[in-house]
Structure formats: C-alpha cells, structure tokens
Structure 1
Amino acid sequence: MTAISNNDPRPLDLANIDFSTVTDTSRLPQPMMPPIKQATYKASATDFVVNEILPLDFTGEGEHLWLHIEKSGINTAYLAKLLSEWADIPLRDVGYSGLKDRQALTTQWFSLRIPLRQLPESEFAPIDIGDNESVTILAQHWHNKKLNRGTHRANQFIITLRGIEGQDTDKSSIEQHLQHISASGVPNYFGPQRFGWNGNNIREALALFARPLPEKRPAAKKSKRKRAPREQNAMELSAARSLIFNEILAARVQDGSWNTGLAGEVFNLDGSGSIFASEDIDDTLRARLANGDIHPTGALWGVDNDKISGLAARIEDKVVNNSPLLTQLATGLEQRHVKAQRRALRLPIEDMSWEWPDEQHNDTQTLVLSFTLTTGSFATSVLASMVQQLHTAELN
C-alpha cells in the first residue's frame, strides 16, 4: 500500500465538519437488515453488565494485592485513583487490564503493589462517591506480578433490551438472526465511545495534525528502559485510526467481502495477534474462513503497511483517498510515523444465549442477551447488527 499523497496541505475547516455525523456508528452498513426496529438499553446499570474474564492462578505470595471489584456508576481510572489513595501508594502502582463502562454494572480486577504487604488499618470504603455509585470487593489474592493493560482475554456481556415493539417484532425472526450471528459473527466496528462526545476526539486529532511537527532531537544513546513510554496523544491517534478502519470495513461490508476475503488479503488467525498475507484465495483459505479459523483484516492506519496488496489494498487506498477527512487523518498519522497494524474485519461471538423475560407493557417486549467478546471489541457492534434504532436511556 502506498503512502497517502496530500496534494492540499491546508488543514480542513473544522467549522464545516459535522463530527457527530461522521462518527455516528449507527449509519454504518450491516450485512443483513437488523430484525428489531428499535429498542432501548442502559435503562438501569443492571441492564448493561460486563464481567472481565481473566483466568489466572494466583501464587498467594508477593507484594501485589489483586482485588476483584464490582462497580457501578464510576469509571475505572477514578476507581484506580481511589485505591491508590486508600493504600497510600503511587497511582503507577495500581494496575488494571481494561477500561470498563461507567454506566454499567461491571466486574474487573485491580492490582495494588503493597510494599512489605502492609495493608491499611481500615477496609476500603471510598467516601468520595455519589448516591448512584457503588464499589464492592468480591475477592482478593496476593500475587507476585502487577496486572498490566490488555491482560484479560475477553469480556462477558449481559445486556437487556427494552421497548422492543411487539406488533413489529417476530420473536422467531429475531432468534434466527441471533443464531446466524452466533455462528457467523458481525462486522468488527469500533464503537461510538472511541470517538468521544459528539465526535470530539476526531476534532482533537485534526487539531493535533494541524500543529507543526516537533523538531527532531539528536539521536540519544540507547536506554536501558525495557518498555517505551506510552505514546503521547494516544486518544487522538486511536480515534483517527478507528474512523479510517470503520470506513474501510463499511466498504467491505457493502461489497460483501468483509468475511470472505480478497486477493492480496492479510488474514488474522482467530484468537491471536498472528497475521499472514495471501495473494490469492484458494479452497483451503475459503474453508478456514467459513469455519472461523481466520478473518480478513483492515488497516489501523500508519506507515509500513506493506503486507496488504492487490484488490484488498486498492479498496483501502480508495476509501481514504476519496474522503478529504480520512486523507487528512491518514496523512497526520503517517507524518507522526505511527506504525500500521491490522484488525480483524469480523467479530466472532462466543457463548451467545438469550431469554425473553415475563415482561410486557404497552405492546413492548424485553430481550436479555448474554455473550462473550474478545478484548478490544465492542458490544455495540453486536447490538447494531440487531437493532435499527438503538436508544440509550438516561441513567439517574
């Protein structure tokens, strides 16, 4: 894939971009018409449950106290701050694997490095939380390692959809659709939370790319640091890559190749970060695609995206070059030497089940879904494949 040629270096006029619309994931195409016309979720915290799946054998020794915590109405980063204050340790010594939704009932693990295992005299009972916020410690274990970001394998979701119109809804068609996506997966779109309120993360990305690049410093001696420092402006860079990826995936959904592959494709091995390229699609690859062993991928834009070729590469270039907004984002990423990566276009769904509670009011129905997704994927991708108009209730 060739680098983007920016023939017009002038930044876009931000005042003329409707960021809310360009980042509206509900407009993205689906392979099949969602069977539910409209529904509401997050009417209460218990309507959106997320359980972190982190299989681990604890050593029972070491100076890292691992806490399994159930929380509601409070975000992960703020809870980490409260834990660091309680234990009187630096915030950097509090570990967690992933960020969990504030407007939900979630369980996740935290680790606290406690020197000499000297616990505070009082139990953890945060006082700086509101009436609609809760924190409960479910279990605790000593371990010899800190919990690092991205450690957990997957998340289990239990989501309640309310306000499903009875007169427009056929239970059998909904259940057939659920069986289909359980077997075949759904488009692996990034969710709306990646783009911020009204798409402001894309606005910030464009503002970042419009600023002059920092001058290069003289090469320094190799550091003994084992890990590179976290990328600056990570939120803006991630949002830019996510928007480009969503538009590439949308084009692949429209041409029907999102789950079948193209000439020059880069494939992802299911359940791993391994990828490989193939100039042609043969019967062996078709069989592996059909049984979910491999998935086509799309670009997380950046430099050195040289594995993809042929028709698959031409589609990605066309998507970016035909949009001034995407061109500007891609150019900004390349100028900052962000390294390209690949993301699966198809999202497998594990352990899908559902039930219809005995609730029916004013010709509406309630559906409870339970499923598991790998880390880095979004439950909203599953919901978007099912509901044409998905409304979020305002939690009190």
Structure 2
Amino acid sequence: MIKEPEDFIVEELPLYEPAQTGTHTFFAIRKRNLSTLAAINRIARDLQIRSQQFGYAGLKDKNAVTTQVLSVEGVLPARVLRIEHPDIEVLWAERHPHKLRAGHLRGNRFQITLRDIPHDALPRIESTMQRLATEGVPNRFGAQRFGNKNDSHLIGKAFVKADWEAVVRYMLPDDALQVDDTARRLQRELAKKSPEKAVLCIPHRLRKLFLSAYQAFLFNRVLEMRTPCFGTLLDGDIAIKHENGAPFLVTEATVEQPRADAFEISPSGPIFGYKMRLPTGDVLALETSLLSDDGVRFEAFRKVVGIRLPGTRRPLRMLMQLHAVSAVDDQGVCLSFTLPAGGYATVVLEELFAENIL
C-alpha cells in the first residue's frame, strides 16, 4: 500500500515557538527514511557532541518523510544550520532557554498515499474515515512502539520484574550477525559482573524505551478489553478532558456520558507508575488484574534500573481531524488528517483496513 517514504509524510505541530534567547538551540529538520534517534546520532557525530545533549518532542517514523523540531545544548544556531546530510535537511534554527521535552507538541499532521487501491473504493474509504473522525480512533500504541523484533515490551517487563537473566537473553541474539554495539558491551560486562549489574551498561535512553514499551503494552491490553465500547464511561473510571488533559474520577457514568458523546471527555487507561491516578471499583480490578497476570507488583514501577516511572492516564480514544480524502494517480488514495500528540497514524490505517474496504 505504502511504497516509498514520500507516501508517508509527517509534519510535527510544535507546542510553542523558540524564545530566540538561551543556551539551547531549537531547530527543525526534514528527514527521509531515518528514525528520530538515528538522525540525532548522525547530527551528533557531525557536531562532535554526545547524543544526550539533544531533545525531541516525539519519535517519528523511519519509513517516511518527516518534519520535526529538535533541541541541542551549547551549540549556536549558525553551526546547526551548516549541517549537511543527504537524508537530513535543517530548515531553521533559533535559541531557547530550555531543552525540548518529550510530549511538547500539539500533534502531527499526516499525508499518506495508499497505492494500488481502485478508485471505486474511494467512497467506502471516505465513509470509514468520516466515522473515525466522528466516533474517535482507538488510542492504542502502534506496533513500532515495540521494536523491530516486537520484543521491547518483553525486555521492559523483565526489567520491572528484576529478571536479569531474561533481559540478557533478549539482548543477546543467537545470530552473531545481529549483535550490535549494545550487545557487545553487554557481553563484555557479563564477563566480569553479575547480570544485575551488567545490564546497567545498556544506555539509559534504551532502558527507558523498553520500560515505556511495557507500559504501552499494558495500556493496549486494557483498551482491547474495553473495545468496542471504548467511548463508554463506567462508574469508577478516570475520565480525561480533551481540552486540557485534566483527569477526574467518574462517580456517576450516566451523568457524564453526554459529555463523552460530545467528545469533551473520554475514559482513560493506565500508563502504570507510582504517581498514576487510580480508578475505583470494577475498573480498578480490571487494570490491576493485568499486573497480577504478569506477576508484577504495582510498587515495582517506583524505580526500575535507576529510572523512575511516575505514570499517567491516557485516553482510550483520540480525536482525528480529517482534512481530505482524495484520489491520486491511476490507482491510489491520499489521506490527510491530524492526530493529537501520542497518536499513531498506523492505528488509523489498521482501523481503515479492518473494515474490508477493498
């Protein structure tokens, strides 16, 4: 369906503009066929600095053409603007007082071209997209959140359970050709340290990604258990106000449901952590049963391999702003829409093709 990176175009929508003063430089890049972290590593090598000096609001797809803002500390805008790379274009650079943090974006606008789709499918595609825009899209995490081998959440789970041997098994592939720098470093550490201490050589950012993948996996399981009624409130829910993200306890679902029907609020699911607001009643029982099934204690999320996991609540559905559905070329359809921060366009496509529109 999607044949070239140019068929999947993403534009990040910033939450705020740089202040044009400060020790950090905000800069926008357009990258092609590169993940966000790979782009940061290449820019870091060009600037001869550590990748930890960079900040980003969100991780963007690799197999796409994406525009996003990054930040870097201690590098002047003029130096950033001199970066040249075949797959990375620097669009602008301005100073700002603070590092760009994850989640500091309004959302993302997508333009996706689906190839080899007959034009007579256009009315069905448009109808489904209109329905998703009205009813909301399941706010699950996309498959890319779980890594190329679909095991990032399993590594995260092993970290949370302090199952260091399992972490080592996942990190050290059987195929010697697949051993990367992190695996080689881990092998060296294991020769002189216990698994518990050796796994600390895994970069902090990677450990954090594994843990967030496990949190995402648990959220997806809750969402699956509440589908197809993910817009229906239950007594004991923690609802989220879409206007400002504020959570509140639902004591009488029938009273609040009209607000959910108007898409002012939505039920939420857990991003487990020690500060996460807990639901009550049957909703709490459902969510905590997942931890019991995995043999994980809620308290385990307080601090894992040096990383604190405060947790939060995530709406079970997201509002999609549909801009256009149009025919392109001989056999193709172009979809243009905007999703809020944290939303996955691949989930929209999964929902679209679940309707058997072809």
State the TM bucket, normalised to the shorter chain: 0.7 to 0.9
Cα 1:274–1:136 change in 2 (3 A) is same
* Distance in 2 of aligned mates of 1:318 and 1:110: 39
The within-5 A match list for 1:314-333 is 314-318=285-289, 327-328=293-294, 331=296
* Distance in 2 of aligned mates of 1:119 and 1:175: 45
Q: Which residue of 2 aligns with 1:253?
A: 227
Identity %: 27
Candidates 95, 101, 106, aligned match of 2:66: 106
Cα 1:119–1:304 change in 2 (3 A) is closer
* Distance in 2 of aligned mates of 1:252 and 1:111: 38
TM value normalised by structure 2:
0.77
TM-aligned CA deviation for residue 304 of structure 1? 6.4
Candidates 61, 76, 79, aligned match of 2:39: 79
Structure 2 unaligned blocks of 5 or more: 166-194, 198-203, 303-308
Residue type of the alignment partner of 2:35 = N
Q: Which residue of 1 aligns with 2:257?
A: 286
* Distance in 2 of aligned mates of 1:231 and 1:106: 22
SS at match of 1:199: coil
Cα 1:291–1:193 change in 2 (3 A) is same
Residue type of the alignment partner of 2:339 = L
Cα 1:123–1:386 change in 2 (3 A) is same
Q: Which residue of 1 aligns with 2:236?
A: 264
Q: Which residue of 1 aligns with 2:314?
A: 343
* Distance in 1 of aligned mates of 2:81 and 2:347: 42
* Distance in 1 of aligned mates of 2:71 and 2:116: 39
Q: Which residue of 1 aligns with 2:103?
A: 150
Structure 1 unaligned blocks of 5 or more: 1-39, 127-132, 216-229, 322-326, 361-365, 391-396
Candidates 152, 156, 161, aligned match of 1:201: 152
* Distance in 1 of aligned mates of 2:232 and 2:80: 59
Candidates 334, 339, 344, aligned match of 1:378: 344
SS at match of 1:164: coil
Cα 1:94–1:236 change in 2 (3 A) is closer
Q: Which residue of 2 aligns with 1:310?
A: 281
CA contact under 8 A between 1:182 and 1:352: conserved in structure 2?
Answer: no
* Distance in 2 of aligned mates of 1:191 and 1:304: 25
**Relative to total residues, which structure has the larger helix share, 1 or 2?**
2
SS at match of 1:147: coil
Cα 1:85–1:292 change in 2 (3 A) is same
1:180 corresponds to 2:131: yes
* Distance in 2 of aligned mates of 1:150 and 1:202: 20
Q: Which residue of 2 aligns with 1:299?
A: 270
TM-aligned CA deviation for residue 340 of structure 1? 4.5
* Higher normalized contact order (CA 8 Å, seq sep 6+, divided by chain length): 1
* Distance in 2 of aligned mates of 1:211 and 1:196: 20
Q: Which residue of 1 aligns with 2:333?
A: 367
Q: Which residue of 2 aligns with 1:224?
A: none
Which 4+ runs in 1 deviate beyond 6 A? 212-215
* Distance in 1 of aligned mates of 2:128 and 2:329: 21
TM value normalised by structure 1:
0.70
CA contact under 8 A between 1:154 and 1:374: conserved in structure 2?
Answer: yes
CA contact under 8 A between 1:265 and 1:308: conserved in structure 2?
Answer: yes
Residue type of the alignment partner of 2:218 = I
CA contact under 8 A between 2:73 and 2:99: conserved in structure 1?
Answer: yes
Cα 1:74–1:276 change in 2 (3 A) is same
Residue type of the alignment partner of 2:250 = S
Residue type of the alignment partner of 1:184 = E
* Distance in 2 of aligned mates of 1:107 and 1:332: 40
SS at match of 1:176: helix
SS at match of 1:260: coil
